[in-house]
Amino acid sequence: MKIENLKEKFPKIYEDLKTSPTIGIDEIKNPNETSCPANKNTEKQHSPIKEETKIPSIKDHLKGCETPQQAKEIIEYFKKQKEITKTQAKKLKKQLKTEGLRSFGEKREKGEIEKKGL
């Protein structure tokens, strides 16, 4: 879109563009550089981004449960949504009853998956 067309369709934007100062480019960013050179001292270090994303399984959800009752509700929900079969649900319930809730793994804290991934 040409700037002249902006005046007709978007007069406020046109005025802003005409009255705002122009910004010059001082340097070309090195493609291997991850941040602006001016921000090297102030930029905080970020942890590397995990390349692979994994969808949480039912066992990942069971690790977040605090009680066996919560685990049973999650198993029933997954069965109702047809994400697991009736046979798988029976096996999980049997494991829960015989081996306990922590047989699925250590307790996960709320938000741990979002922070650290799987």
Query: What is the radius of gyration, based on Cα positions, of the chain?
Result: 27
Domain that holds residue 66: 58-116
Domain-located, residue 84: yes
| Residue corresponding to tokens 């069971």 | 62
Domain for residue 80, yes or no? yes
The residue type at 50:
K
Give the 3-state DSSP-derived string for 50-87, with helices as H, strands as E and coil as C. Answer: CCCCCCCCHHHHHCCCCCHHHHHHHHHHHHHCCCCCHH
**pLDDT tens digits for range 81-105:** 999 999 999 999 999 999 999 998 8
Looking at the domain assignment, is residue 77 inside a domain?
yes
- Identity of the amino acid at 9: K
How many domains does the structure of the chain reveal? 1
> What pLDDT is attached to residue 47?
58
Structural domain includes residue 68: yes
| 35 occurs within a structural domain | no
Report helix, strand or coil for 115: helix
Q: Identify the top-confidence range among 32-36, 46-50, 92-96.
A: 92-96
Report the half-sphere exposure of 95 (CA within 13 A, side-chain side): 15
> Tell me: the pLDDT tens digits for 5-25?
777 888 887 787 777 766 665
User: C-alpha distances in angstroms, 31 versus 25, 38, 39, 52, 98?
Assistant: 16, 16, 16, 23, 57
Domain annotation covers residue 63: yes
- Indicate yes or no: pTM above 0.75: no
